[in-house]
Structures are given as structure tokens and as C-alpha cells.
Structure 1
Amino acid sequence: MHNHTHTPHWDIFCAVVDNYGDIGVTWRLAKQLAKEYGLAVNLWVDDLASFGHILPALDPKCPTQTFEGVCIKHWDLPLSQDYQPGEVLIEAFACELPPEVLCKITKAHQAGDKVPVWLNLEYLSAEDWVEGCHGLPSLQRSGLKKQFYFPGFTDKTGGLICESDLLATRQRWQESEQRLNYFTQLGLSGIAADDTVISLFSYETASLEALCQHWSQGKQQVHLLVPIGRSLNSLATFIDPQQDLAPGQRFCHGKLAIHLLPMTDQQGYDRLLWSCDVNIVRGEDSFLRAQWAAKPFIWHIYPQEEDYHLIKLEAFMALYCHNLAPEVADAWKALNIGFNQGSQEALLPLWQQVITAHAALTQHAQKWPDEAINDADLATRLVQFVKNS
């Protein structure tokens, strides 16, 4: 038995997919583990340029840099920086670890040295099967054991990412009515206190054009806040995609004003969600932050083959709506399904039903976070899981 020492730290490997989703989740987790648990965390990322969109101070050309207590390392091929095994090794979303890392932990295992607790952090799902798969081990050919860590909404899963002070901070923000000042800070103009404000961070869908047409012809002034990105591909009727677009620009069509947002860091995006009346979000990270914002939302889930994403959507909606009045729940669920299917005409009466029930949906959304946390957030459960391993 060898007794080599190793640096006490955690390593998280993240391959950036779809620009912001995977890195959004792992960056939040790494920050929380460093801040609330005092852990030394290395976050290995293959695409620093995309990461820089949500961490503007990041230098995409610098191979090693530290922010908020987290050491961010460039994951290049072949791996040019030395990996030293720590306490925990997380591959986020089955990203496949670099050969150099697998080789090093395999050699340590064969030599009888201590090896990290090896986890695959999976995607979030509300489906029933998650409880049975959470924590399951997978024995590798090398003899090493990898365990599957599933985030989820029940006490038999890995929990949800939520910083310890987040909900209280959000409540103070909303009670102090800072939203108009925040819109001004973002360079947005012409938004009155009684206007309807909607944030948009979705994939391409025909549903957007239908809703924008509806909003433009309505009686209530609507402001749609959109970062420059994929959502704009569905708004060509309202914004000429050929022109030079810049944050702060505003496009007015009847009662609809479309505002282009500057890219912001994660704290800024949280404040945006807290400040809007309705949030249209996508993927996993923004989907979860919309829930913590305690506002009505539409989830544009990542499309999968044979419409499997709709099964995931249905599973979440069943959980989210179980304490909601049936007529409100039915309208909200139908709106989400219609938006994901690219519905157009069918979407408009559903939108009206949801807006009519806005007060009831907001009240429900305010109660949901405490219920969803289930006594412990993901980082807390993860640290305990590692101790038990």
C-alpha cells in the first residue's frame, strides 16, 4: 500500500454545450462549494470564450485564473495542465474525462493509492425513474467505481442548486421594488410601472412570432427583454436580423416594445428574472433560476428525438402543479406544451388565460421554492453524499 499525499480539492470537468447551459450549472455549483463549504475547487472548461459571456471578467486566453474562490482551468486537448487527483472528481453531464485524467486515477487505483470519489453529474429531470438511478455505481474496466448523481425535486434525489442566501436576497429585492431602477441600469428606456415586462431566453420557435403579434395588437403595453442570441432568429418579422444589432436598441410595434439586452453575469440574470412579470426560459440553468425568481414562467425545454423532451416537461409540470387550482394548472400546462410544439393560433387564448390567472400563478410561484428544495439543496446533499462514499 502506497501512501502518497495529494492536494485536498475537488475537480469539476465541463464541456460547454449550447453556449451557456452546462457551464451555467457547473459554475454556480463550483462557486457555492467554494463559498459555503470552503472547498478548493478546480473547474476545468473546454470553451472559455462561451464561459466569458456569463463571467465577463474571464480572460479566454488565460489557462488558469481564479474567480470567487474557484480556480478555472482551460481543458484543452491534449491536456496541457497537470491534473492531480483530489477528494472528488466530477464529470458534468457525461462529458467524458480527458485520457490523462483517467490514466492518472487508474494508475493510483492500481498502486493502492487513494483515488477521488468519481461522480457523473447528470441533467435535471422530474421523472420518476430518477430516484431509482440516483447514486447508482458503475464499475469501470479499470476497477474504478463511478457513481451517477442525479439532481431532482424529491428527497430521494440529489437536490437542486440553490445558494443558502438566494431566496431571502430575492425576496428583499422584490419587496424593495428595484426593478425600474434595474431596467435603467441595463440601458432600457420607456418602461412604466404598470407595463407588462417579459424576459425571453429561448430556442428558436414559431410560437414567439405568434405571441409577439398578439402582444403588438393588445391593449396592455408589453416590453420583451431579449439578449442577442438564438431567440432573435424567431423574431425576424419584428427585428431585421441583417442589421447591426446592439444592446440597448428598442423596436416598437403597436403595444409591443422589444428591447435588446446586454449580456450579464449570473447575478445580473437573476435580478432580471426577479424583475419581470413573466419569464420565458430554456434548458436547465435558466429554468431553475426562473423557479427561484418566484414569477410565472414558460419553459422551452431542449428538443429531443421522438419528442422525449415533452415527457420530461410533463413530469415537471405534474410536480409543479399539484397544489395549483385545476383550471389554472390546465391553462399553464397547455401554454407550456403549445409553446414547445411551436403552436401559433392555439397559443393566444392560452396566453390570455394564463395572464388572467397571473395573480394566482404568482402566489403559487412564491410558495414553490421552499417545497422544491425539500430541506436540502444540491451542494449540501452532494457534500454529504461524498462523506458517505
Structure 2
Amino acid sequence: PADNGREAAVVPGLTVYGFNHVSEVADFLNNPSHHTPVVVDNRTLMAAHAGALDLRDVKGQAQARRALEIAAAGGHNLIFVGPPGSGKTMLARRLPSILPPLQFEEALDVTQIHSVAGLLKEKGTLVSTRPFRSPHHSASGPSLVGGGSFPKPGEISLAHRGVLFLDELTEFKRDVLEFLRQPLEDGYVTITRTRQSVVFPAQFTLVASTNPCPCGFYGDSVQPCTCTPRSRENYWSRLSGPLMDRIDLQVAVSRIKPEEMTQHQPGEASEPVRQRVQAARQRARDRFQAEPKLQCNADMQSRHLKQWCPLDDPSRTLLEGAVRKLGLSARATDRILKVGRTIADLDACENLQTHHIAEAIQYRTLDRMQ
């Protein structure tokens, strides 16, 4: 159809003509020289549109900013835990600003998904920036993973190659969150209907935020918590252990100090952070040359960890002690190694060192709280 001509023309190597009626097709077959192919300048379409959100707007929160950088460099899932007004949402919304720009092939993938969902804002355009999807906590399972009589992609596929932000994670229904487990592990979702099965890609970085308790102020330095231990336990029981195992970075976000709120000097901007992220990802890609399916450290499997994350004796002793003390699962332990590998890449270190593992263990906040 003519309306889809520009959309099809973005694929390299294709000569595309758009028609609205079969008579136009017949005329083309008889007189091809009378028709002009659709021409699209992919370089123009891929021109990045800089967003207005920048890390320089974030005051203080050094550890949370560091966790964002690690998440971006390694493709790690992340959750912020802190009281209302501590900046959890502000931080999460700035993650796309430090992610590497989409490559052309990635942009094609993202554009195809948005086209199937009917969400392309303008015909013949590429989605040239990484998606950021933020479904409401009342979202249903099908809206999250996709569905319908004629299956369409859900939020996790619309976030492919980008960020899925789940604000107030504990307000989502537990059965809805359980839908995330398989896509987080496999990078795709399968929707089965009576006559067909459809597979949609879902390689995204999950960023979540939540209060530490029902009242929101457990551990706050200013306002006391009014919750009982039982209510806090019930609150966290909404999140299953297997789901939390899949979140690599668990970060406590404290209330911003008054002196930080009034300081005039902005924080570090997104661009230099993005440059460090790209350098770390390039080190990972160089390491993964024989494994083209691996895009970043979060994609590594157990066999890759044995090859690329060997530990010296002090590091192994430290990790084993943390596993025993925190009661970590094998999956959570593997994720500590992946995060440690990313921290080493940010430090331009070929081998994991003890302080890389120590920092990675610090990001198991929820394991320490339980």
C-alpha cells in the first residue's frame, strides 16, 4: 500500500513502489519507467533526537547514579528502593540518556514492533531512539506481555532494545509480575493461540522503583515508619524470590540532604557517562567476538562466567561469604559475577578484582533487608 511505502523503503537493498489500487500495479507492470520508487534517507531518519532529560538535573544520589551507569554499561536490571520524594523516578527516566545510540539494525527491529502495534507516529519513519515504556501498576498481564485474538506486542516488546520502567513495583499484581520471569531470562515472549504461536522479541532493561514499606518511610532519617513488621513482610511478599533474583542491582535511595538540594553546581551530565558506558560495552563486545548472540554482560550464561569471570582466592572467599550470609541463590550469585564483570569493564580492567566483587555485592540491598 502507498501508505506503507516509506516504511518499507527504510530496509536497505529494496526498491519500493507504493500503490493504492490494483490498476496502478497493472500500469506499473506495463510501464515501469512511468513510476518513481519511494526514496528514504536513512541517515536523516537515524539522526538522534536528544531528549530533554539529563543526569545533570539529579542532585546528590552518588550511589544511585553509579548504579545507573553500571546498568547501562552491562544491560543489568535495576530497582530503586526509597521513600517518596527521594528521586527514584527522576533517576529511572534518565537511564535512556546514558545508553548507547541505537544501531540501524536495532532501529529496524524496534520500528517493526511499533508498526505491528500500530504505534508509529508518522509513516516512513524509524524509531531512532531507545524506547522507554512505563505502564501503570494497574496493567494486566496481556497488556504487559502482549495478546489479543490477533496477537499484538505488549509493553515488554515495545520496550525492546530500550527500558521498561515499572514505577511502584509492589503495587502491581503478583501474577502480572510473574509474566516477566521468562522474558527477562530469554529475551523474547511467546504468545500461544488456538491456531498459532507468535514470538515477539523482548530484550529490555528493567528498571523498577518502590517504597521500602506500605507507609514509605522505613529506614528514613526524618520521618518515622508507622508499619508493623508483619505489614512490611506482607508488602515484600508481593514480589517473588525468582523475580527478584533476576534484578541484578538493588539500590537503596535515601532522602536528598538539604545542602544537596540547595547547591547550584549541577551534577555530571549524561554525555560523559554515556561515553564511559560505550567504552565498557566495546570491551565486552571485543570479548564476545566468538559469541555474536551476546550483546552485553547481562547476556552471559554460566559457561561464559567460568571463562570470563575467574576469581582469585580473596575474591572467591568474599563471594562465598556473601552467599552464605545472604542466602543467595545460584542465579543471584551469577548476577553478582556479571555485575562485577561490568564494573571491571568500566575500570578498564581485564580481570575481576576483589573490589569489583565487593561493589557488586553491595547492590543486593533487598537480600540484606530480608
Tell me, yes or no, whether TM beats 0.5.
Answer: no
Of structures 1 and 2, the one scoring higher in RCO (CA 8 A, sep 6+) is: 2
TM-score (norm 1): 0.22
Which structure shows the higher helix fraction? 2
Larger-Rg structure: 2
